[in-house]
Amino acid sequence: MAGKLIIISGPSGAGKSTIVKHLKENTGFELEFSVSATSRPKRENETEGKEYYFLTIDVFKSQIEEKQFLEWEEVYPKQYYGTLKSEINRLSQSGKNIIFDVDAVGGTNIKRQYKDAAISFFIKPPSVEILEERLRNRATESEESLQKRLKKVRLEMTYARRYDHEIINDNLELTLNEVTKLVSDFLKS
C-alpha cells in the first residue's frame, strides 16, 4: 500500500543513512526519501536538495513562524533541522511510501501525527565508544562538532523507547535483514 511512512532515527553514526539507502534499493517498497531542511553549513560533498535543503537561519526561522514545517528542532545551537510540509506534499503526490532519516525528536513528532500510517525505528550503536570511533572514521566533523554530537547521544537515547522498534546496530547485515523484514510486514498490512 502506498502512502505509508518509515521513520529511521538514532544518533549520528548509528547507521541510519546506510539503512535508509538499503531500504530505498528495495524496489518493492516504492520509497521516496524525505529531504530535510537544515540551517547548518553545507559540507563539501553535499548537494542542495539531495542530502538537505540548506537554508539560512533567518529563512529557517521565518518558515517556522509561517508554520511551513511538519516538525523542526534546534538540534545544536543555531543549527536547525526540520521537515518541510511542502516536501511531504511533493512526495505524497508521487503515490509512493516516504522514508525519513530524522533526529529523535523529529521522528517522535512525525509518528505522533501519522500514528498507524507510520512505522518508527530507533537505531542504536553497540556502545558510545563504538559510535565515537565510527564518527571519527567518517572524518567529516571538526573536533568541536564531534564533541557536540557525542554530548547529544545520551539525550537522544532517552527517546528510543518512544519508537515502535529499537534496534542495536552491532552487525550491519543482521540489522539490515531485521529492518527490511519489519518494513516489508508493515507495508503489506
80 SS3 class = strand
pLDDT of the residue at 2: 64
Comparing CA positions, the residue from 21, 12, 11, 13 lying closest to residue 180 is 21
Q: What is the pTM of this model?
A: 0.86
Question: What letters, b where the CB count within 10 A reaches 16 and e where it falls short, cover 83-92?
Answer: bbeebbeebe
Angle (CA) 48-71-179 rounded to 5° is 80
Give me the count of residues in the chain: 189
Task: Sort strands 97-101 and 5-9 into parallel, antiparallel or unpaired.
Answer: parallel
pLDDT of the residue at 116: 95
* Residues 74, 80 contacting (CB under 8 angstroms): yes
Q: What is the mean pLDDT of each run of 10 residues along the chain (189 residues)?
A: 87 90 94 95 91 96 96 89 93 91 92 95 89 77 78 86 96 97 96
pLDDT of the residue at 1: 45
Could you tell me which residues come within 8 angstroms of residue 168 by beta carbon, excluding any fewer than 6 positions away?
Answer: 124, 125, 126, 175
Domains along the chain?
5-188 (3.40.50.300)
